[in-house]
Structure 1
Amino acid sequence: MTNYRNETDWERADRNIGELLQELRIAIPGVQVLFAFLLAVPFQQRFAQVTDFQQSVYFATLLLAAASTMLLILPTAFHRLTFRKQQKERMLKLSNRSTIAGLLCLSLALIGATVLVTDFLYGSEATAVVGGASAMAFMVLWLVIPLRARRLG
């Protein structure tokens, strides 16, 4: 069976896997930097000064960054464990879902990190504005625009 690119299902799967890997090569370093930053934060002297709210935001952000890391690396683990088992289509479906979930966790972790730093530096009023603006920006840039482009074809 062929498609508009005149490629077989196998060739299409190979191309889709290559595209997915390229996307993950962009996302994973960002998650790694954020996660490393978050792991170092509690060992700083000023961390003892954080409020209960900041501590809660920090912990939620840390967990979101860890979840994002796991979800974005999941395609690699799945591929390695199913290597040569004719699982490309299954891998692509699972990898697509895990990548979307990983990017969602990443966006929430980045919003959380922004909220944490803003609250620590400027207080709750600025935090509400910056947190809301960050959430809106992610929603528009990572959700609305791609879904609109998808709908328009």
Structure 2
Amino acid sequence: MAYLYELEGIYAELQDMELDDETFQDTLDSINFQEDLENNIDYFVKMYKNSLADAEACKHEKQAFAEKEKRNKAKADKFKEYIKRALEISNVKKVDTGKFKVSLRKSKKVEILDETKIPLDYMNEKHEWTPNKTELARAMKAGAEIEGAVLVENESLQVK
């Protein structure tokens, strides 16, 4: 059996010989060109189908991993909340387990109450205006009162 690239070469050589149609076809038949061509095409179609099946399997695995990632992130968030709640209930701010240092610390974040009332100086331009929370926080920490936003104090868990 000839390989596909060999068949291409044979076919090109025969075309260059400028044979009449009957001689051209007889020559192809004598070297089993059609059978070799069909075998080669059959092989490549199988490879093509296998590649498509592999791609589809990867697509399904990607979706499965995305779902698994989402579940694991949700589980991690629950564990983090359990740790935070345990520290709050026991009124402890820091714990050093030897392997991990866990602490509660105060933080502040801007909570937007009414985006339409925030001055443009504190808005980021994207495709639309959005509040610039960093600038809002800086201004409000400096004592500015900005209608449409308040500075909220939170306590977040830190794991090192």
TM-score, with structure 1 as normaliser? 0.28
Whichever structure has more helix as a proportion of its residues is 1
The structure having more radius of gyration, on CA atoms, is 2
